[in-house]
Amino acid sequence: MPYQIIVCGGLAPDPLQTLEPVTTPAGPGLKNELMLPAVFDPWAGHALYEAANLAKNVPGSVIKVVSIAPKAKLQQVMMTVAQKLPFELVPLDGPGGGFTDSASIAAALADAIAAIPGLDKSQMLLFGGWESATRGAGVVMQMVGEKLGITEQFLAVDELKVDESGALIIKERVEGGRHQVSKCAAPPAVLAWATGNLPEPSNHPQTGMANMRAMMPALQKAKAAALTTTVSYASVALPSVTRQTKIVKDVPAAQIAQELADWIRQ
């Protein structure tokens, strides 16, 4: 059975950039945020690559990416992402930082997905990142699923297989470094991906150009996401970096490993 795979994914600042929290009139933000190069959120990226793999193996499947982000920035990022696999973009113009309200984002995503013409929920797999690189709240996908009435939800997914009967075999991360394998008889389902197992597909401009024929009009017509927020931030700061240096000589590797293990346990 072909799937309609909806991938939710936003943007994140390029991780190599210097990220400096600042207070803006609209709340917390990053210094020069709109000027920083952005990337497709890596968690959502894994979901997208898994979606591409599934679509390739199940002929007739289609992928639609629903994204809330500043549309000019999204257009720049699509110049790379759109080269990796064929998909359709459903863009919503909105903030790209990590300080938006998760519930509000989830509502906007759910509304946008529900409005996709021809969407058949019986074929729908809702993909996204388990967390996001900007926020890490890990709650958006569940809320989107709930709002769309999809109760089969799988979090921190590392693998998806389809068995002979068409059932989904899903491997999720659970506590203690273990995996839990579940069987889901059929769509619809929410799969919030951890890292998956697939490498990033290489770029090819030819694929991108085919995608962009539909993406550019969609980006130009992108509506502003209706976001509300009830969240207020007392303070924001970068995680502190702790560096402890010890100079040693002639210490066996096993002893160094033991010290590291002890340090990690602390």
Partner 1 sequence: MPATSTLSSAEFLKTLPGDDVRQILWRFQDRFDLQMLVQSVRGVARGPVARLVAQGGRLTHDWTPEKNQLLEEFDNAGITAAFMEPHEGGYIEGPKNLALSLIAFELAWVDGGAATASLATHLGLAPIHEKGTPEQQAYYMGIAAPQPGRPPKRAAFALTEPIPYVGVETGILCGKVRIAEWPEGGEPILEVSKRGRFITNMGFANFVTAAVESDDPRLKGTMMVILHEDDPGVFDRGTPTRKLVHQLSSTADPVFQLKVPASRIIGGYRVADGQVIPTYDHGNVIEAVFRRTRVGVGLMTSAKLLSAIEPLIRYHRDRFRGSGAVAPGSPRYELGLQQKEDVTHRLLDVWATGEAGSSLGFATARIFDTIDPVEKAKDKYFAEQGIGGGTTVIKALRKRLPDALEFIELNGKGEMARQSARYAELAADPVVQFMIVDAEASVLCPATKLWNTGNGSRVMREAVSLMGGYGITEDCPGFLGYKWMDTQLEATYEGPEAVQRRQLSVTMTSEVFLAQFRQWTQEMRKVAAQAPGTGACTLASAMNLWAWTLDYLQHGKDASGQRLYQGTRQGVTFPMADALCWLLSSRCQILDVENLRQNAAMLQDGAEGTIQFLTDLCHIQSARAAGEVARICTELVYGYMLHPSWTRPEDCNNCFREEELQQIESIIPGSSGFVVDVRNDDGSHSTKAGPCVHASGLNDFTRLRNKLDGCLAGAMLAKDRAGESLQKVMIPAALDYPL
- Give the binding site for partner 1 (CB under 8 A): 14, 16-20, 31-37, 70, 72-73, 76, 79-80, 82-83, 202-206, 208-209, 212, 216
Closer residue to partner 1 (CB): 14 or 259: 14
Question: What is the separation of C-alpha 41 from the centre of its chain, rounded to a whole number of angstroms?
Answer: 5
For the bound state, the minimum distance from the C-beta of residue 122 to partner 1, rounded and expressed in Å, comes to 34
In angstroms, rounded to a whole number, what is the distance separating the alpha carbons of residues 42 and 194?
A: 10
Closer residue to partner 1 (CB): 52 or 189: 52
Complete DSSP assignment for 187-207: S-EEEEESS-SPPPPPP-HHH
Closer residue to partner 1 (CB): 13 or 128: 13
Closest CA to 29 of 92, 101, 100, 106: 100
Looking at residue 58, the DSSP 8-state letter turns out to be: S
Closer residue to partner 1 (CB): 212 or 225: 212
Closer residue to partner 1 (CB): 19 or 116: 19
For the bound state, the minimum distance from the C-beta of residue 238 to partner 1, rounded and expressed in Å, comes to 11
Complete DSSP assignment for 113-182: HHTSTT--GGGEEEEEESS-SS-----HHHHHHHHTT---EEEEEEEEEE-TTS-EEEEEEEGGGEEEEE
For the bound state, the minimum distance from the C-beta of residue 213 to partner 1, rounded and expressed in Å, comes to 9
CB of 135 within 8 A of CB of 15? no
For the bound state, the minimum distance from the C-beta of residue 79 to partner 1, rounded and expressed in Å, comes to 5
For the bound state, the minimum distance from the C-beta of residue 205 to partner 1, rounded and expressed in Å, comes to 4
